[in-house]
Structure 1
Amino acid sequence: MQDAHVLLPDMSGCLSTLPGNVSRVSYFAVFDGHGGARASRFAAENLHHTLAKKFPTGDAENTDKLIKRCLLDTFKQTDEDFLKKASSQKPVWKDGSTATCVLVVDDMVYVANLGDSRAVMCRMEAAADGQKRSVTLALSKEHNPTIYEERMRIQRAGGTVRDGRVLGVLEVSRSIGDGQYKRCGVISTPDLRRCQLTPNDRFIILACDGLFKVFSADEAVKFVLGVLQEGSEEKGAVQMEEERRFEAACQQLASEAVRRGCADNVTVILVSIGY
């Protein structure tokens, strides 16, 4: 098992002070390691502490811009710190990891990701017949060497893409760690997305590619909605509390991925949105 994950529904304990215009910060992350579990474990243990140190303070007017800069700097620092540690080992560590981090600052969601772990959000919208329908919003972008821009960067750096992999080996084109591929155009600059929460938003799914190999994003959202619906309609007993329903939906989604034949690790975080 080379995955790692972090759940910090209230991150204020890690932050020295919050900016004056911010009342709550939450952080959720999934890291899918390859070549060993050391890069994913290092990122899970350190990335949010580095983020906390770089997080904007005071009454900054351009908090949005500062948070984005903070996320970019945090990923760069985490990668550099791990590579420094990895290169000092005998033999040198060759581990790498994806990273998908969701930072919720009041009602604004920031997602920073590297590699092929993903974040998707379920938003309910009114349909023509008056019923509410779920819409699946992608909050992250996959980075693999078959994508044109990624392949071009790798080739410009002197690397090659064979069988959809960097040098025929590495499946992702951005990661933390993977020191031996950094000279081939594999970078640790995350894709950044921002999304404002609305009263129609239900939940966010964060998961490694083990889930998305056997579920499309839309299928995963509909599966979770189905389990939540069952929990709210349970006969005889008092309705399951919301927390237990989400716990059940998360467990069942991961179990179903395994049942469908996913041979990879499956890590799933389900974040309930209470607006």
Structure 2
Amino acid sequence: MDLFGDLPEPSQTGWARLRAHVAARRGEREEMQDAHVILPDLNTSMSSLHQEVSRLAYFAVFDGHGGSRASHFAAEHLHHTLALKFPKGEVQNLDKLVRKCLVDAFRQTDEDFLKKASSQKPVWKDGTTATCMLVVNDDVYVANLGDSRAVLCREEQEGQDDNKKIVTLALSREHNPTCYEERMRIQRAGGTVRDGRVFGTLEVSRSIGDGQYKRCGVICTPDLRRCQLSPNDKFFILACDGLFKVFTPEQAVTFVLSVLQNDTAEWNRDQAWKEASFEAACQQLASEAVRRGCADNVTVILVSIDF
């Protein structure tokens, strides 16, 4: 599905134009436990903006486990909490406050879901990963929990000549209990890691939800990364681990580029043609993951970047 936003043209604002496309496949699972959010203009959720901020955009993928309730709760509530906590008025350090806002929004969403989950009979035991991209003007903040990922395709100069190369930049970090720091935190809290899982069951070491594991070192504090958009940037991929079970990040970027390459000659004549190419690339990437044997849910958000 192609979801164009109502963002102003770059010539009007100086900011990059971002267009998001999404593809979701249930795979062989009985239930679709993923959720996603695409908000090219988060400004509409804000009563007022910080004086230095002209544009806010938000894109997120949530990969649920144990059910779909945690992923859908996070998809419905996290960006509203983020909007409420976003810095307003005059501040000294916007970057520091945006980072704090993201961490606080994750914690609040986790607390709110666990409160709701514990009030049910029987208690909900759902959990979800989260990879959220918040665009503030042309600064991109990625906050993630678990094993969903965000990557950036960027073109860089190679040497002193005019040759350019494509690089794939990781904008997220996987949180698995096999990682040393994650495992140590879980063990210090009284948990154990067996067969690469918390208590031999949970595959991730950070999540929203999973109330039964929170006392054993599973936390909801996201990793944060920041980058600034440049004219060398081509697109972002945000996706759940269903994609990355059968694609490396570099392979996913190469696959998208191979779909886009056939239509590059038409782009200068027709912007709609360019967006149709990105839409096709997004859909084909998700379908190819299923074709390669991924039995898990697959959700892919492909965000094109145009200056």
Assess if the C-alpha contact under 8 Å between 1:231 and 1:240 holds in 2.
no
Alignment partners' CA distance in 2, 1:59 and 1:238: 42
| Residue type at the aligned position of 1:6 | V
- Residue 155 of structure 1: aligned partner: 187
Q: Residue deviations 1:211-267, cap 9 Å, x none?
A: 000000001011111111112247xx9786221111111001101111111110000
2:299 aligns with 267
**Matching of residue 214 in structure 1 with residue 214 in structure 2:** no
Give 2:97's match in structure 1, choosing from 53, 57, 66: 66
Match of 2:49 in 1: 18
C-alpha distance in structure 2 between counterparts of 1:214 and 1:71, whole Å: 30
Aligned AA for 2:247?
A: F
C-alpha deviations, 1:158-179, integer Å up to 9, x for none? 0000000000000000000000
Q: Residues 35-80 of structure 1, C-alpha deviation per residue, up to 9 Å, x if partnerless? A: 0000000000000000000000113231110000000000000000
Could you say which residue in structure 1 is the equivalent of 2:68? 37
Q: Which amino acid is 2:263 matched to?
A: G
Which of 148, 166, 175 in structure 2 is aligned with 1:134?
A: 166
How do residues 57-206 of structure 1 correspond to structure 2 at under 5 angstroms? 57-128=88-159, 130-206=162-238
- In 1, the alpha carbon distance for the partners of 2:131 and 2:72 equals 14
Report deviation, 1:132: 2.2
Distance 1:16 1:158, change over 3 A: same
- TM-score normalised to structure 2 length: 0.87
Which of 1 and 2 has higher RCO (CA within 8 Å, sep 6+)? 2
Amino acid at match of 1:89: Q
Q: Give the whole-Å Cα distance in 1 for the aligned partners of 2:271 and 2:78.
A: 38
Mean alpha-carbon deviation: is it higher for 56-65 or for 237-246?
Answer: 237-246
Q: What are structure 2's unaligned runs of at least 5 residues?
A: 1-31
Alignment RMSD (CA, Å): 1.3
SS at match of 2:141: strand
Is structure 2 residue 259 aligned with structure 1 residue 232?
no
Q: State the alpha-carbon separation in 1 of the partners of residues 156 and 46 from structure 2.
A: 35
Counterpart code for 1:44: A
Identify the range of structure 1 (123-132 vs 251-260) with the bigger mean alpha-carbon deviation.
123-132
* C-alpha separation in 2, matches of 1:46 and 1:105: 19
With normalisation by structure 1, the TM-score equals: 0.97
Whole-angstrom distance in 1 between the partners of 2:300 and 2:123: 30
Task: Give the AA of the match of 1:104.
Answer: V
DSSP 3-state at the match of 2:187: helix
Aligned residues between the structures: 273
